[in-house]
Amino acid sequence: MTSDAEAGRSMRSLVLASSVGTVIEWYDFFLYGSLAIFFARLFYPPGDDVAATLISVATFATGFAVRPLGSLLFGYMGDSVGRKKTFLVTLLIMGCSTAAIGLLPTFAQAGYAAPVLLILLRIIQGLALGGEYGGAATYVAEHSPPGERGKWASYIQAMASAGFVLSLGIVLTLRLWLGEDAFGTWGWRAPFLVSIVLVAVSLRIRLRLSESPVFVEMHKQGKLSKSPVRDAFRIPGNARRIILFLFGVACAQAVTFYTAQFYALYYIQTFMKMPFLPATLSVAVGAFLGVPFFVLFGALSDRIGRKRLSLAGMAAAVLFYIPIFSIIRHASTPETVSYPTISACVFVLVVIAAAVYGPYGAFIVESFPANVRYTSISVPYHIGNGIFGGFLPLVSLWLVTQTGNPYAGLLYPMGLCLIGFFITLLWVPETLSVRKGERTQAVSLSHDVVGEV
Per residue in 438-447, pLDDT tens? 333 334 454 4
Helices 292-304 and 306-330: crossing angle, nearest 10°? Answer: 150
Q: Mind listing the pLDDT tens digit for each residue in 92-122?
A: 898 898 899 999 998 889 888 888 888 888 8
Q: Which of 134-138, 277-281, 331-335, 405-409 has the highest average model confidence (pLDDT)? A: 405-409
Q: Is residue 10 included in any domain, yes or no?
A: no
Assess if residue 221 is contained within a domain: no
pLDDT, position 119 = 85
Give the whole-number percent of the chain exceeding pLDDT 90.
Answer: 34
Map residue 337 onto helix, strand or coil: strand
pLDDT at position 49 is 64
Which bin fits 129, alpha (ψ -120 to 50), beta or left (φ > 0)? alpha
Average of per-residue pLDDT across 261-270 = 86
Q: What does the alpha-carbon distance between residue 136 and residue 374 come to, in Å, rounded to a whole number? A: 10
Closest CA to 397 of 385, 382, 412: 412
The answer to whether residue 434 scores a pLDDT higher than 80 is no
Contact 119, 62 (CB under 8 A): yes
325-342 burial, b at 16+ Cβ within 10 Å, e below that, comes to: bebbbebbeeeebbbeeb
Average pLDDT over every residue of 58-83: 80
pLDDT on residue 198: 83
3-state percent breakdown (helix, strand, coil) of the chain, nearest 5: 80, 0, 20
Q: State the average pLDDT over residues 9-13.
A: 78
Q: What is the pTM of this model?
A: 0.83
Is the model's pLDDT at 264 over the cut of 60? yes
Domain count, the chain: 1
| The predicted structure's pLDDT at residue 1 | 43
Cβ pair 142, 365 in contact under 8 A? yes
Residue 71 structural domain: 16-212+228-427
Contact 31, 192 (CB under 8 A): yes
**Residue 7 lies inside a defined structural domain of this protein:** no
pLDDT confidence tier of residue 17, bands split at 50, 70 and 90: confident
Domain-located, residue 435: no
| CATH at residue 388 | 1.20.1250.20
Q: State the average pLDDT over residues 287-302.
A: 95
Is position 193 within any domain?
yes
The per-residue pLDDT for range 392-424, each reduced to its tens digit, is 888 998 899 899 999 999 999 999 999 999 999
For residues 306 and 363, the answer to whether their CB atoms sit within 8 Å is yes
